[in-house]
Amino acid sequence: MEKLDNQFDENFDTVIINSVAQYFPDVAYFENTLAASIERMQDQGHIVIGDIRSYDRLDMYYMSVELSRLSPEDNVACLRKNMSIRRENEKELIFAHDYFKFLANRLPEIANVEITPKIGDIDNELSKYRYDVVLTIDKQQNSKTSDYLEPAVVDWSDGENVMDLPDEEVIHFVNVPDRRVAYEKYLVDNLPNVDEELLIKNYIKAFSDLE
């Protein structure tokens, strides 16, 4: 960011940080980058952070990698061990969705945070285990998230009651399932309760029987 001072005379209204945040050394460096970006922006604008690795889906990603590497004849104990090793050896910077919800507490110029999953039906690491964030910047703090319409919250996991919608202008659905990771999510959620001697092929078959 320091090099930008000598290259541009005008301030920006948009900054894009795409598919690089995971290579930053730590959260402090990431937040310093955001602060430096905001300093060089106009009074209002946006920061787009793309291809963020999802902490919320990290174990699902590890699960998918190990299932592609291990033999169906290996047991669950081996699967658990390999996933644990991957977690311990993880070197990249990975963000939970909730981190961005509270980021404005440290960077007050952030007026709103929009978190969006990758769109599309393609099943790969980029679409299933990464997401994008758009930060709305307002240096004069003329508008904050609290100024927007307060949505009614509907929990998708309530099943039949999900269609009993409140009479509100804005509705926020939570716990909406993503079929692209349903397979890995089921296996991760049930992993702590499975006999470690169970063969991986039988573990996978249990999921198939439920479909």
* pTM assigned to the model: 0.84
pLDDT at position 143 is: 64
pLDDT digits (tens, 9 = 90+) for 174-208: 788 888 898 899 999 999 999 999 999 999 988 77
Please compute the mean of the pLDDT values over residues 68-89 and round it to a whole number: 97
* Amino acid sitting at position 160: E
Q: What percent of the chain has pLDDT over 90?
A: 64
Q: Are 52 and 93 within 8 A, CB to CB?
A: no
* CA 149-95-59 angle, 5° bins: 115
Reported as a single tens digit per residue, the pLDDT across 131-175 is: 999 999 999 877 655 555 677 888 877 665 656 766 767 777 778
| Measured distance CA(116)–CA(122) in Å, rounded | 16
Query: Is the pLDDT score of 4 beyond 90?
Result: no
Least Cα distance to 119 among 110, 128, 108 occurs for 128
Sign of the CA dihedral with 81 first, then 24, 104, and 118 last: negative
